[in-house]
A and B are shown apart, each in its own frame.
Chain A
Amino acid sequence: MTGAPTIVALRNVGKTYDSGTVALDGFNLDVQGGEFVALLGPSGCGKSTVLRIVAGLSEATQGAVERPDGNIGFVFQEPTLMPWASVATNVRLPLKLAHADDAQAHAAVVQALARVGLAEFAEAYPRELSGGMRMRASIARALVTEPQLMLMDEPFAALDEITRFKLNNDLLRVWQELRRTVIFVTHSVFESVYLSQRIVVMTPRPGRVFAEIPIAAPYPRDEHFRTSADYAATCRKVAEALEGAMAEGAS
């Protein structure tokens, strides 16, 4: 990790909505290239706001934001697919909007679908797929432009546990293959420990960094890690930090 360039830097960032709600206040975050960072916090703590600011979908009202300009992948909490288009057409969308060359776009779509295990469902429509498969399609769409930065906003929160574990494993596999930077928002302690190299624990509104916890466990991580004593101990530590963050927010 050392020596990798910083690709995202938020300095003292604040966000106040027109309604007067202060979503973020004095938020700091540095992310290095190739890193897998989890943003952990209770709902309404401004995690999604951080992602939207990094994506450029929302403007910070205070502080300095350094972020890559363009080629960012975003995965929403819902699959957010176009229901009138096939999976392949959905995945191809970012390339189509960028007027990419047809043959290259086709090859990129095939590759992205293969990465998430949807190669055989290219011509299916979203409504014909299960929730997990729709989310895979959504991830394939984010991967298709080979972004240097992937932003994921509680992508697996609505899935059942079995599907979520499977997608966790597949996401880690893809990350190890491609080594792109991932910022992953979640409210699950277990998910954040399983996936990431570093957990940023946030306080509830206004969102601020309460603690940063590095997770030293080596990759590849699999079901052995999920059931290990080391995993359980780390989860306890992170859960305690989260409790502390909530207590600070409440005071």
Chain B
Amino acid sequence: MNDRILRIALPLLMLVLVVLAWDLAVRLYAIPPYVLPGPGLVLATLNADAGLLWQSLLVTFTITFEGFMLAAVGGIVLAVAFNQWRLVEYSFYPYAVILQVTPIVAVAPLLLIYLPQPLAVLACAWIVAFFPVLANTTLGLNSVDHNLIALFDLYKASRWQVLWNLKLPAALPQMLAGLRIAGGLSLIGAVVAEIAAGSAGAGSGLAYRIAESGYRLNIPRMFAALLLLSLAGVAIFFALSALSYLALRRWHESAVRRER
């Protein structure tokens, strides 16, 4: 059978099987909804609470998008600065690493003390998302073909010309790989901060809904919100993959389709 059909059909089949098994288990063992709601109830809740959940999704999505954009710009600008000025790299790189390796769950409560809540959430999304952009872009900028650098030298290219015409385009594949990771991470950052803010905050994001529903033992709504959250993550991943494909399809091995 055609490989492409299988790639789409098999995961769908697995989804149907798992949902059926889930439904069957709930019915067969008569599991109460506050322990495990069936798939039908989750969908019904999704429909009933659509207005509330949709608004929350929008809040989380906006924060994620803002965090991602800041991470993209910050990561790329910092990588270029590191690449252009060695001393800047020496001064700041260790702290970029420290920011990355310190678990965000532990940093979030502190940020919530010093920053207004929306800003703290944004800061969390940014902190977790910027490092992959920085690290990947730096790798790309440093892996330029040395003969091409010699060529630019030969034609007396300025530093700016080397950066704009050689280093940035050469680093594009790695930069896009970094952005793809950052997309998922900025969602995680936003969610972690919302959870940490918990009931104390005035937040109305999806993660806050999950926490709130948990306190109220409204398990079906927890599932519904979780479903929306993972759909948002999938959407982000596909959007960034499409961007990467469009930018690289004509020249980079990773995006070129080969005939066998």
A binding-site residues for B, Cβ under 8 Å:
52, 55-57, 70, 72, 74, 76, 78, 80, 82-85, 93-94, 96-98, 125-127, 145
Contact = CB atoms under 8 A, between A and B. Distances in A.
Interface in B106-156: 145, 147-148, 150-156
B169 A76 contact: no
Interface string B83-113: 0000000000000000000000000000000
A74 B154 contact: yes
20 contacts: A56-B154, A57-B150, A57-B154, A76-B147, A76-B150, A76-B151, A80-B148, A82-B166, A83-B251, A84-B169, A84-B250, A84-B251, A85-B251, A93-B151, A96-B165, A97-B155, A97-B157, A98-B155, A98-B156, A126-B251
A125 B155 contact: no
Interface of B: 145, 147-148, 150-157, 161, 165-166, 169-170, 172, 250-253, 256
Contacts of A127: 251, 253, 256
B147 A125 contact: no
A80 B251 contact: no
A125 B249 CA distance: 11
A85 B150 CA distance: 18
A82 B157 CA distance: 15
Contact of A83 (B147, B151, B252): B252
Nearest to B172: A84
Contacts of B253: 127
A78 B150 CA distance: 13
A70 B157 CA distance: 12
Nearest to A126: B251
Nearest to A94: B155
Contacts of A94: 155
A127 to B, nearest CB: 6
Majority SS at the chain B contact face: helix
Of the candidates B148, B151, B250, B251, the one having the most CB atoms from chain A within 10 angstroms of its own CB is B151
A126 B148 CA distance: 14
B189 to A, nearest CB: 31
Nearest to B150: A57
Of the candidates B150, B152, B252, the one having the most CB atoms from chain A within 10 angstroms of its own CB is B150
Q: Which 5 A-B pairs have the closest CB atoms?
A: A80-B147, A97-B155, A83-B251, A97-B157, A84-B169
B252 A97 contact: no
A74 B153 CA distance: 11
Contacts of A55: 154
A125 B250 CA distance: 7
A197 B170 CA distance: 40
Contact of B148 (A82, A97, A125, A145): A82
A75 to B, nearest CB: 10
Nearest to B173: A84
Given A56-B154, A82-B148, A84-B252, 7 more contacts: A82-B169, A85-B251, A93-B165, A97-B152, A97-B156, A97-B165, A125-B251
A93 B157 CA distance: 10
Contact of A97 (B161, B169, B250, B251): B161
B153 A57 contact: yes
Contacts of B152: 97
Nearest to A99: B161
Nearest to A80: B147
Nearest to B166: A82
A85 to B, nearest CB: 8
A93 B155 contact: yes
Nearest to B250: A125
A74 B151 contact: yes
Nearest to B145: A80
Contact of A80 (B151, B157, B161, B250): B151
Nearest to A72: B154
Contacts of A126: 251
A223 to B, nearest CB: 32
A135 B214 CA distance: 66
A70 B251 CA distance: 31
Nearest to B144: A82
Contacts of B154: 55-57, 72, 74
Contacts of A72: 154
Nearest to B253: A127
Nearest to A83: B251
A126 B252 CA distance: 11
Nearest to A52: B150
A76 B151 CA distance: 9
A48 B252 CA distance: 30
